[in-house]
Structure 1
């Protein structure tokens, strides 16, 4: 069976290698998920404690995002030049260095060093997200959605464990003479370093480099048979990048905007941190846990249908969040669950669309640039949400986010009409 026939049949050209790649990626994602969640849990609290003020307590989130955007470019370029293994390993190692910097800043009580270290720490966030692309490099087109979802859902396991280890790592930090809030960054540094080690040692063969080799052999075989790619193929590739990028950018923008202001909205209606924490926990679970189902839907029913479902689910979330009484925790939790599911639909479908349409020769660089746009969209959503709620209200923000997500539908419909 030829390479082309194998792909058409929906079978990976290297199924045993793909299984090994996914196993290694899942292990690294569990570790990095713990590192990501542990640090994010106390970043704002540590800044508030060191500064003695809440005025800059929101800065850690902005620094994570800024560092993530820069790291997305760097990881993409390293992966493009040398492969996924060195790109992802370097990204996680950079996140570990940032964690060590945070510990040093906490011990020395240096807020400036803290902010610089948090910026570097953001590299772990970008790398954790970019690992999903590595899962799809060798997957057959009919299995790419499931490959992406397998990598994504693994993050949940570490993400759940990380915050629950905040208390014991805090006690460990105090034993070592560090502030209690610095404890989770001990875990973050170790987790990121171990994730880098797992990838550096076991992610062999490199999925992107092998995919590139297979694509070159297929192209040579097609050229010998007189079936070379023409300008229409390039146009389709550019359209796929634009569509996949738009799906992920809009999903991220709407999700971050509504998520950011929900705890504030609940606080204004008399809810404590336990209630808002429960709602956000439900939201985060809905962001990642449906991934296996989403991957199956993407592969079974198509990328465009799931992308459209993302817009509709985000709209339903926005409407419910806008109409839910401020004292109703169950309805707000349901709205945030729909918000997470809509984001998950958009991320998995958008990732599959881009992987389908970008050749391995330029895939990593393009994916890195798309993830920069996603990170900027998240930062924009977070900053704009506070401004809009201050000027109008939380229901207005939620409804506006839901309506904005509808922009996906005409784009998806137009793309569906152009494709056979």
Structure 2
């Protein structure tokens, strides 16, 4: 592989970030239907609200199962291979979900959602791909730009629920599956984009530069700080558990709330409209301000930005505890939930990258994503049981344990960072 000059590297990085950003727009459209409709489909096909959490559990389980293999594949064959492999998983998953709804098969639905989750593991790697060739002082910014790009597709996807239902009904698709038409087209477009335009491959180029004796400071090989890396993984995973658990149960909570307020006259469209708006604002919180959090992570510090994320998550949980009986309270809670997740994820992923040498990054990043997804899958599966037994407020109280744990561990990570800098 030809080693790029610093000028060529900067130009390549701009192009790679642009390609990854556009791919994330398409990925957001593709993934949004599962986020919005998975719990409703699971409750409908299973006939039991307590099993609705298995939808989010399945999507995160699929991401957990695929994260490490895709990370290792990226380390060996590059980001282009792992991203397109994820797209293929998701494409097949969409078809299986629609088939499951048609056959009224709950187990088959979970299989399809697991495959979509495996595809999302590839999407998650896009944020790390943005850091492969980034200079250290802009690492958080470049990562956050790619995360932000998901806003467009992810916010649009929940708002497509009603048009998707109408379009699906016209062509005879099962209820609650029409939006998956948009998902399929978007995933196919993203696959084509990565195959054609993600050149040079960012990770393979970074590895080549790290092996080259004259690579210079533009792309540091990195000093290994495993204890700090573990803290970063826990901060990302814990924040994701809080977000996934509360978000997964929000459609069910809103459905119950709407039916309680309007009785038997409530239509499916009434529920999906409220769910669509709420999830759209939540996903907007997850991605819209990520560039701000990336800049804060670069200038203010990675750990401080992680703590900002925990403060926002705590505020979200307070709204969920005390104002969960009002639609506006749930909307505020979900928006803050997205913002807290964004700050913690951007800063945590950036911290993990910079405390890991280039040669180990893809493997450790895959491990982080796997832990994050597996933890969230377990929590989301239990969230339906907690919701049924203790209500929405009870679920929020339970999730506050993770916020407290992340804050409590922060001083230990700060001491490790200071010790490694002074060594």
TM above 0.5, yes or no, is yes
Contact kept, 8 Å, 2:147 with 2:287, in 1: the verdict is yes
Over 3 Å counting, the alpha-carbon distance change for 1:382 and 1:53 in structure 2 is: closer
**Cα displacement (A) at 1:117:** 2.4
Contact kept, 8 Å, 2:143 with 2:294, in 1: the verdict is yes
Unaligned 5+ segments in structure 2 are 263-270
Structure 2: how far apart are the matches of 1:49 and 1:384?
18
Q: Is residue 255 of structure 1 aligned with residue 238 of structure 2?
A: no
Structure 1: how far apart are the matches of 2:303 and 2:22?
30
Question: Over aligned residues, Cα RMSD in angstroms?
Answer: 3.0
Structure 1: how far apart are the matches of 2:308 and 2:298?
14
**Cα displacement (A) at 1:110:** 5.1
Structure 2: how far apart are the matches of 1:357 and 1:342?
23
Over 3 Å counting, the alpha-carbon distance change for 1:19 and 1:271 in structure 2 is: farther
Contact kept, 8 Å, 1:13 with 1:138, in 2: the verdict is no
Q: Is residue 246 of structure 1 aligned with residue 246 of structure 2?
A: no
Could you tell me which of 5, 23, 41 is aligned with 1:28?
A: 23
1:306-321 equivalences under 5 Å are 306-321=305-320
Question: Which residue of 1 is the match for residue 265 of structure 2?
Answer: none
Over 3 Å counting, the alpha-carbon distance change for 1:318 and 1:47 in structure 2 is: closer
**Cα displacement (A) at 1:89:** 0.7
Question: Which residue of 2 is the match for residue 187 of structure 1?
Answer: 182
Q: Is residue 164 of structure 1 aligned with residue 159 of structure 2?
A: yes
Question: Which residue of 2 is the match for residue 370 of structure 1?
Answer: 368
The secondary structure found in structure 1 opposite 2:358 is: coil
Contact kept, 8 Å, 1:312 with 1:406, in 2: the verdict is no
Q: Deviations over 1:136-175 (max 9, x none)?
A: 1111111111111111111111112223334444454455
Moved more, 13-22 or 348-357: 13-22
Contact kept, 8 Å, 1:12 with 1:138, in 2: the verdict is no
Over 3 Å counting, the alpha-carbon distance change for 1:242 and 1:271 in structure 2 is: farther
Structure 2: how far apart are the matches of 1:380 and 1:396?
17
**Cα displacement (A) at 1:334:** 2.6
Could you tell me which of 57, 60, 63 is aligned with 2:58?
A: 63
Question: Which residue of 1 is the match for residue 284 of structure 2?
Answer: 285
Structure 1: how far apart are the matches of 2:241 and 2:108?
29
Could you tell me which of 395, 411, 415 is aligned with 2:409?
A: 411
Which ranges of 4 or more aligned residues in structure 1 deviate by more than 6 Å? Answer: 219-222
Moved more, 388-397 or 86-95: 388-397
1:38-57 equivalences under 5 Å are 38-47=33-42, 56-57=51-52
Could you tell me which of 194, 210, 216 is aligned with 2:211?
A: 216
TM-score by length of 1: 0.85
Question: Which residue of 1 is the match for residue 124 of structure 2?
Answer: 129
Over 3 Å counting, the alpha-carbon distance change for 1:376 and 1:33 in structure 2 is: same
The secondary structure found in structure 1 opposite 2:357 is: coil
Q: Is residue 98 of structure 1 aligned with residue 93 of structure 2?
A: yes
Over 3 Å counting, the alpha-carbon distance change for 1:333 and 1:161 in structure 2 is: closer
Over 3 Å counting, the alpha-carbon distance change for 1:138 and 1:220 in structure 2 is: closer
**Cα displacement (A) at 1:383:** 2.9
1:299-338 equivalences under 5 Å are 299-322=298-321, 324-338=322-336
Over 3 Å counting, the alpha-carbon distance change for 1:215 and 1:408 in structure 2 is: same
1:198-213 equivalences under 5 Å are 198-213=193-208
Over 3 Å counting, the alpha-carbon distance change for 1:51 and 1:129 in structure 2 is: same
**Cα displacement (A) at 1:338:** 2.1
Moved more, 121-130 or 379-388: 379-388
**Cα displacement (A) at 1:191:** 1.3
Structure 1: how far apart are the matches of 2:110 and 2:250?
25
**Cα displacement (A) at 1:395:** 3.4
Contact kept, 8 Å, 1:319 with 1:402, in 2: the verdict is no
Structure 2: how far apart are the matches of 1:325 and 1:138?
45
**Cα displacement (A) at 1:183:** 2.6
Contact kept, 8 Å, 2:282 with 2:334, in 1: the verdict is yes
The secondary structure found in structure 1 opposite 2:177 is: helix
Moved more, 333-342 or 92-101: 333-342
Structure 1: how far apart are the matches of 2:314 and 2:305?
14
Structure 2: how far apart are the matches of 1:258 and 1:53?
18
Contact kept, 8 Å, 1:171 with 1:180, in 2: the verdict is no
